[in-house]
């Protein structure tokens, strides 16, 4: 690659910390690694939300963090913490200035909208560089109830940050982007109906198939007291009403009648402490404490995450809303079958009866249906292995990060062409 070519790719999520890991963080880190292998210089610019260090390296990628605030009067400490955890519309002038002054930038890649997205938009225009936006969900394809939960911390609060939103063109981010990337098929379909341009593409998330191919499930079971012959259902996701772990608990309570030697593990950071308390109250009320365990979120480099996939018999994702479902790819790569909600991006990801089973999280008998499907995997080991093997082939053939990285590079080049035409 010619050394005179601008090489930096600046990824800008709202927050990025190893202790509060999710699908978006996985995507940003993995595409950054692919870009490094291709000779580019990706860096992650973000806020100090939930972080203790200004600068660090995560997975070999430089992360630079900047001071921020939520421009609302009357926010309590608890309100700020809730906004940090999920959906906070933050403001960071120092982040904008850093992007505006950065040298040797090829392209800006925003992984957030609102004020953060507006800062990326304006910095890119200042530098006369292209910018793309990834929609990781929660824009066009988000349930009203979830949106209400995200906005609850700012209810009845006076916002003083609107002039900054206008200054940065926050409402113009998607209209002005040189390309809009949707990780979910359903989100893309809705984006195409609502945006006035055609600079939109579907690019699924990926998975490091080799990373998840092997894992010490025996060690995980031994550490957590799960007998080798016991049936283990696993969920890895944020402890959050969106992820709907309550349905998994209700189904597991029913499963216990048919499979007494069964366990359920819920692993993930608690983005909604009140919801986590409801889960623990249900566990206690139904005497499930010896069979259900909630483990806090683990760093993405914690080997226990892969061990957990290999320890389980089935992976369960009963979400109310799911833009894509990258954990499904991780379960598949581990050779495990999945049971997932027929919602959002999962509808285009899972093939019912081939790579997993669907449930309807909104049906009155959802818990009974989920319990029945869990029981089917418990009593039909050959079905469990068949669907798990189908999923592994699906992940390897369509979703390996190397393939996704090549497709993203193609979209970057189209964004660069669009930016040139705009000039």
Angle between helices 114-127 and 93-101 (to 10 degrees): 20
Residue 355 CB partners (closer than 8 Å, separation 6+): 332, 337, 338, 387, 390, 391, 394
410: pLDDT strictly greater than 60: yes
Is-same-fold flag (8-206+400-422; 209-398)? Answer: yes
Whether the pTM exceeds 0.75: the reply is yes
Higher pLDDT, 45 or 86: 45
The top-level CATH class assigned to 209-398 is alpha beta
Sequence-distant (≥ 6) Cβ neighbours of residue 10 within 8 angstroms: 42, 43, 44, 45, 99, 102, 105, 107, 108, 109
- pLDDT (0 to 100) of residue 344: 87
pLDDT tens track for 347-357: 989 999 999 99
Calculate mean pLDDT across residues 290-312: 91
What average pLDDT does the segment 312-329 reach?
94
Cα 361 to Cα 142, 247, 306, 365: the distances in Å are 15, 8, 27, 9
CA distances from 71 to 68, 88, 97, 159 (A): 9, 10, 18, 6
Extract the tokens encoding 255.
């499963």
Query: Which of 4, 223, 221 lies closest to 234, judged by CA?
Result: 221
- How many Cβ atoms sit within 10 Å of the Cβ of residue 174? 22
Partners of 55 in the beta sheet?
A: 64
Query: Phi and psi at residue 204, in whole multiples of 5°?
Result: -70, 160
State the Cα–Cα distance between residues 280 and 294, nearest whole angstrom.
Answer: 8
Helix (H) or strand (E) holding 177: none
**Residue 195, helix vs strand vs coil:** coil
CA dist., res. 377 & res. 384, Å (int): 5
Q: Which DSSP letter does residue 215 get?
A: -
Give ∠ CA 180-181-183 in degrees, rounded to 5. Answer: 150
pLDDT for 138-152, tens place per residue?
Answer: 677 566 556 566 667
Q: Residue 210: what are its φ and ψ, rounded to 5°?
A: -65, -40
Which element (helix H / strand E) includes 64?
strand 61-66
* Domain locations along the chain: 8-206+400-422, 209-398
Q: Are 26 and 333 in contact (CB under 8 A)?
A: no
Beta-strand relationship, 158-159 and 72-73: antiparallel
- Tokens linked to 289: 């404490």
Q: Which pLDDT score is estimated for 304?
A: 93
Average pLDDT over residues 29-50: 97
Chain mean pLDDT for the chain = 93
Spatial contact of 132 and 415, defined as CB atoms under 8 Å apart: yes
| DSSP-based three-state secondary structure for 122 | helix
| Res 143: pLDDT | 60
- pLDDT tens per residue, range 117-132: 999 999 999 999 999 9
Q: Which class is 8-206+400-422 in CATH? A: alpha beta
């Amino acid at each position: 690659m010619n050394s005179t070519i601008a090489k930096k790719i600046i990824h800008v999520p709202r927050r990025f910390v190893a202790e509060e890991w999710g699908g978006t963080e996985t995507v940003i880190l993995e595409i950054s690694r692919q870009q490094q292998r291709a000779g580019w210089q990706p860096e992650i610019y973000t806020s100090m939300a939930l972080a203790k260090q200004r600068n660090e390296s995560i997975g070999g990628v430089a992360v630079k963090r900047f001071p921020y605030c939520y421009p609302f009067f009357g926010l309590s400490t608890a309100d700020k913490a809730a906004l940090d955890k999920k959906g906070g519309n933050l403001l960071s002038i120092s982040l904008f200035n850093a992007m505006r002054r950065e040298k040797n930038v090829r392209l800006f890649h925003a992984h957030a909208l609102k004020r953060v997205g507006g800062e990326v938009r304006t910095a890119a225009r200042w530098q006369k560089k292209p910018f793309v936006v990834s929609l990781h969900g929660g824009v066009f394809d988000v349930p009203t109830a979830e949106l209400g939960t995200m906005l609850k911390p700012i209810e009845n609060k006076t916002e003083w940050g609107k002039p900054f939103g206008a200054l940065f063109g926050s409402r113009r981010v998607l209209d002005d982007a040189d390309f809009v990337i949707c990780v979910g098929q359903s989100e893309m379909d809705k984006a195409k109906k609502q945006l006035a341009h055609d600079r939109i593409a579907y690019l699924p998330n990926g998975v490091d198939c080799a990373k998840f191919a092997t894992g010490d499930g025996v060690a995980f079971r031994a550490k957590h007291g799960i007998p080798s012959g016991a049936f283990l259902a696993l969920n890895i996701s944020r402890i959050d009403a969106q992820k709907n772990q309550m349905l998994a608990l209700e189904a597991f309570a029913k499963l216990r009648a048919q499979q007494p030697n069964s366990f359920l593990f819920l692993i993930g950071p608690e983005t909604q402490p009140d919801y986590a308390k409801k889960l623990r109250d249900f566990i206690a009320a139904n005497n499930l404490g010896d069979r259900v365990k909630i483990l806090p979120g683990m760093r993405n480099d914690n080997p226990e995450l892969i061990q957990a996939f290999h320890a389980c018999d089935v992976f369960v994702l009963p979400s109310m809303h799911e833009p894509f479902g990258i954990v499904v790819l991780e379960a598949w790569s581990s050779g495990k079958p999945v049971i997932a909600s027929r919602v959002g991006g999962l509808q285009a990801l899972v093939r019912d009866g081939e790579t997993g089973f669907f449930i309807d999280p909104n049906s009155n008998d959802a818990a009974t249906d989920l319990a029945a499907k869990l029981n089917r995997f418990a009593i039909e080991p050959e079905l469990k292995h068949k669907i798990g093997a189908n999923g592994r082939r699906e992940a390897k053939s369509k979703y390996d990060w190397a393939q996704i990285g090549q497709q993203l590079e193609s979209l970057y080049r189209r964004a660069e062409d669009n930016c040139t035409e705009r000039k």
